[in-house]
Amino acid sequence: MNLNPEHLHVMLNHLPLIGLALALVPLLIGLLGNRRESLFIGLLLATLCGASTMAVMWSGEEAEHDWLHSERAGHLDADAYAWAEIHEHRAEDFVWVMYGTAAVSLVALLSMVMKKRVKTTRVLAGLAALGCVLSVAASAYIADSGGKISHPEFRTGPPPAEAEHGEYGEGH
């Protein structure tokens, strides 16, 4: 098995999107039903899945250098390169949402474990749940452009005008 950065990126990029969506279930059960165990599981999932974004970003950067600018990407058309630029910039612009969600979830988890004020933990857990919602939306927005790089069947039209005019980089 050849687990190069491109393969890792394709495998890992689902963790923040799906994982943070799944973390919402126990978070909401814990918050609405006042279930400590569910809250703990939701916060742990949100922390781990939000933090997994670091590996997704690393593998994406490596994949860009190792694959996108190599002979192996010779099958890609000009629109694919434009979508790759858009994908990279969306990821850079919105990654802070996933990192913030992981950080807030970790603080809430530590607050819970250290048995700090229940109200503080609940507020932080509520912020973590909101972060999960925002992260899922941001991840879907990023993934939309990523899928259009190698899958022309996902494209419903040309890349947005800013990619065509080089506002997202030098162009290809």
For residues 124-153, give the mean pLDDT.
Answer: 90
Greater model confidence, 20 or 64:
20
Report the alpha-carbon distance of residue 134 to residue 120 in Å, rounded.
21
* pTM of the complete model: 0.84
For residues 20-32, give the mean pLDDT.
Answer: 97
Report the alpha-carbon distance of residue 16 to residue 8 in Å, rounded.
14
Q: Closest by alpha carbon to 133, among 46, 10, 31?
A: 46
Averaged pLDDT of the chain: 85
Task: Kindly report which listed range (28-37, 81-90, 97-106, 128-137) carries the lowest average pLDDT score.
Answer: 81-90
pLDDT in tens, 36-87: 999 999 999 999 999 999 999 998 888 777 666 666 666 777 777 788 888 8
